[in-house]
């Protein structure tokens, strides 16, 4: 399944949009699990995020949610580190949500600053890290992953 990448110029900045071919099944979670090596999951629709989150409530697996924005400098600084954590901890689900795309979700989670990392187990918040605090985030992922 190939992806089509387009490059747009907006306000002097490059932005990229990855368009995946239309999937046959309507289950977004099943589609994500077929993608191979564990990436950082991203959601662009509130309904898909909520469907995914509902499926995690019965799991004891740690979910780390990164709330950020494309224009946020500290968020961009944390992005490579966040991807490294996803590789280092394959037993943890890493999710990235853009507060500008999913404003209603950001409001529900009471996001006040970015980046905000919320660690969730069985649908409950177990920890929160606000700001570009790499060591703190890594320590808390390590602490709650098992």
Catalytic site positions: 72, 75
d(CA 112, CA 115): 9
What is the chain's length?
146
Cis peptide before 115 (omega within 30 of 0): yes
Specify burial of residue 107 (Cβ count, 10 A radius: 0-12, 13-18, 19+).
Answer: exposed
**Cβ–Cβ contacts within 10 Å for residue 56, how many?**
18
User: Which two tokens mark 46?
Assistant: 């509130």
**CA pair distance 46, 130, nearest whole angstrom:** 22
Rounded Cα distance between 76 and 59, Å, is: 30
């Amino acid at each position: 399944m190939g992806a089509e990448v387009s490059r747009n110029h907006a306000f002097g900045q490059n932005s990229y949009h990855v368009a995946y071919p239309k999937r046959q099944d309507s289950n977004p979670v099943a589609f994500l699990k077929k993608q191979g090596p564990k990436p950082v999951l991203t959601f662009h629709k509130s309904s898909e995020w909520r469907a995914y989150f509902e499926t995690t409530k019965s799991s004891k697996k740690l979910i780390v949610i990164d709330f950020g924005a494309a224009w946020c400098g500290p968020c961009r600084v944390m992005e490579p580190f966040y991807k490294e954590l996803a590789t280092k901890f394959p037993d943890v689900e890493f999710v990235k949500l853009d507060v500008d795309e999913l404003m209603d979700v950001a409001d529900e989670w009471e996001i006040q600053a970015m980046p905000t990392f919320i660690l969730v187990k069985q649908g409950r918040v177990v920890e929160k890290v606000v700001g570009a605090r790499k060591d703190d985030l890594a320590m808390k992922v390590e602490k709650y992953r098992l």
